Structure 1
Amino acid sequence: MEREKLPTMYSLAQSDPEQALIPRADIPPEDLAQIERIMAEMGRLRAVERRIMHSAQNFMKLNETDMRAIRQLISAKHSGQAVTPGMLARHLGVTTASVTKMIDRLVAGGHVVRKAHPTDRRSQQVEVSEDTHLAAREQLGRHHAKKFDVALGLSAEERDVVIRFLAGTSEALQDSLYGPDPGATEASE
């Protein structure tokens, strides 16, 4: 098994030599080296997660949207929530027509089943099949458990630092993509 290598694209000297994006004249070299290592490790993590996802998709013969749907259905099953095609369409950000075609394909492949909705006789619910649930647990769940083990090995203070870093990174990236969330400021006041 070949291990994922640490990507080199995160070297600021290579990716931003003119310091157009990140002025760094006042940042000590050891701080820059450590930050570049964090960025490289995040890149390696994304690459490993992509390999895991592609492996699971190939094994289960599903595409990325199918896998997102399956994950949502598994989560709903664990929480006792009935999922309608409309709910699934909203979760995936696709049209109801697209989700209907996807469900038809997943039903034909034995991945999901349609059932009568437990409380709304006019509606149907979609559930993940037992075989697909087990396959997803084996293909993805065991990898997720490894991340849990690493987090468990950290002290509470270390986990707080990781949480702060990941949450801050997510917020900064989301802001760079969509702009600040206007509701976030109101909620924090």
Structure 2
Amino acid sequence: MAMGENELLALRYLLRQPDHSARPAELVKYLGVTSASITTMLDRLEKTGRIERLANPTDRRSIFVRATPHANEEVRETLGRMHGLMYDVAVGMSPEAQEHVVEFLRQMSDAVDGVDPVVTEETVDA
């Protein structure tokens, strides 16, 4: 798709909204970036036909941005393909390998949350 992570997240956010639109300030809050960054990102998305800027009918000082049908199709196609590939990887794993992955992810989640690791026989043997 030739998009950065924030561009994809912004499009997914817009596609989940009624009318597939939102104010730029909502994207600033959602993504945790500056309004200058949003403006630059929206310029790129508009240039590639993924969003359109619309005047706010009740306030001429503000705008809405709306994801285009092209963006909707592109995001669905890309994420659908990616999800299919991810599913194939998961299904192809042995039950033992799946258990190891689940344990790894649990430990990583605990680490991010600042939880001390749980010492078990399995972690001592490792």
Q: Could you say which TM-score interval applies, normalised by the shorter chain?
A: 0.5 to 0.7
**3-state SS of the aligned residue for 2:54?**
strand
Residue 109 (structure 2) pairs with residue 170 (structure 1): yes
Distance 1:86 1:163, change over 3 A: farther
Q: Distance in 2 between matches of 1:151 and 1:88?
A: 33
| Structure 1 residues 126-141: aligned runs within 5 Å | 126-141=65-80
Identical-pair percentage:
35
Residue 10 (structure 2) pairs with residue 73 (structure 1): no
| Structure 1 residues 23-172: aligned runs within 5 Å | 56-57=1-2, 62-74=3-15, 76-77=16-17, 82-116=21-55, 121-122=58-59, 123-147=62-86, 166=105, 169-172=108-111
TM-score, normalised with respect to structure 2: 0.61
- Structure 1 residues not aligned, in runs of 5+: 1-55, 153-158, 182-189
Q: Distance in 2 between matches of 1:167 and 1:83?
A: 35
Spell out, residue by residue over 1:47-74, the C-alpha distance to the aligned partner (whole angstroms, 9 max, x if none). xxxxxxxxx32xxxx2332222222222
Distance 1:90 1:171, change over 3 A: farther
Spell out, residue by residue over 1:71-115, the C-alpha distance to the aligned partner (whole angstroms, 9 max, x if none). 2222x24x6674210111122221112201211221122110123
TM-score, normalised with respect to structure 1: 0.44
- Structure 2 residues not aligned, in runs of 5+: 92-97, 116-126
Give the RMSD, CA atoms, in angstroms: 3.7
Distance 1:80 1:146, change over 3 A: farther
Q: CA deviation at 1:141?
A: 2.0
Distance 1:91 1:167, change over 3 A: farther
Distance 1:150 1:135, change over 3 A: same
Which gives a bigger RCO, structure 1 or 2 (Cα 8 Å, sep 6+)? 2
Matched length: 112
Greater strand content = 2
| Structure 1 residues 6-25: aligned runs within 5 Å | none
Q: Aligned partner of 1:113: which letter? A: E
